[in-house]
Amino acid sequence: MGSKNKLKRFKENETFPNVLQPQRAILEKDQFAQKGKWAEYFKNQQPIVIELGCGKGEYTVYLAQKYPQFNFIGIDIKGARFWRGAKTALETKQANVAFVRAQIELVDRLFAQDEVQEIWITFPDPQIKFKRTKHRLLNPTFLDTYNKILKKEGVIHLKTDSEFLHGYTLGLLQQSPSEILYAHHDIYNNAHAPEEAIAVQTFYEKQFLAQGKAITYLKFRWKPHV
C-alpha cells in the first residue's frame, strides 16, 4: 500500500465514530476512559467479543452481522488495515462494531475484569523461533492477560494455518486444567465444523487456502495451573 493511501486512511480513521485510537502512554498509565465502560459506548448491555490482530476486520464485521445480540471490537496496531472494516461497518450501519488501534500486549488496559465474553485470534504470526516465544499471542503470559478481561466462562478461538502454533497451543492446554471445547487440524475438511469458523475467510486465509494449506481451529477456556 502506498504511503499516500496510508495517510488518507489514517486521516479517515480520525473521523470515524467507530474507531478509537488511545495513545500508548494513556494505556500504560491505565487511564483509558473507555475501560469498564464499553456498555456506555455501545449504549447497551450486550456481551462483548473482541478480535485480536483483526487485520482488515473481516471477521469482526461478519460476526457482528451474524450475531447482532453481541458487540464486536477489532483490535490492531495497523490502522490502515482495519480502515476497511471500520468503513464497511459504517456503510452498512452496524452499530455493534468498533475498532481500536492499540498493541495487543496492552489489551488488559482496554477492558476491565470480566468485561469480555469471547476472544478471536485469527492468523497471528506464529513466531516459530524459540527466542520469539514471548511474542507468541498464545503463550502463557498472553493467555493469562486475556483471562484478566474474560468472564469466568469466557472462551478463546484460534484459527491459523500454522501447524506449529496449533500444536503448541494444544500442548499448553493439555498440560493445564484448561477446557478444549473444539479442536481440528483441517477445519474445511470436517463435516461438523462450527459455522462461525468457516463462514468467512480473511484476506490471508484465502491466500493460504489457494496454496493448499490446511486451516486449523481451536476453541477453549484457558485455566492455568494455580
Give the start-to-end residue ranges of the domains of the chain.
Answer: 43-221
Q: How far apart are CA 100 and CA 50, in angstroms?
A: 10
Query: So what CATH class is 43-221?
Result: alpha beta
For all residues of the chain together, what is the average pLDDT?
94
1 falls in which pLDDT band (50, 70, 90)? low
Residue 44's φ and ψ, nearest 5 degrees, are: -160, 175
pLDDT-derived band at 217 (thresholds 50, 70, 90) equals very high
Q: CA-to-CA distance for 100 and 102, rounded, in angstroms?
A: 6
**pLDDT band with cut points at 50, 70 and 90 for residue 106:** very high
The answer to whether residue 125 is catalytic is yes
Indicate the pTM of the whole model.
Answer: 0.94
Whether 202 shows a pLDDT value over 90: the answer reads no
Spot the catalytic one: 30, 114, 125, 186.
125
Burial (0-12, 13-18, 19+ Cβ within 10 Å), 194: middle
Q: Name the pairing type of β-strands 150-160 and 179-184.
A: unpaired
**Is the Cβ–Cβ distance between 64 and 85 less than 8 Å?**
no
Distance of alpha carbon 156 from alpha carbon 49, whole angstroms: 10
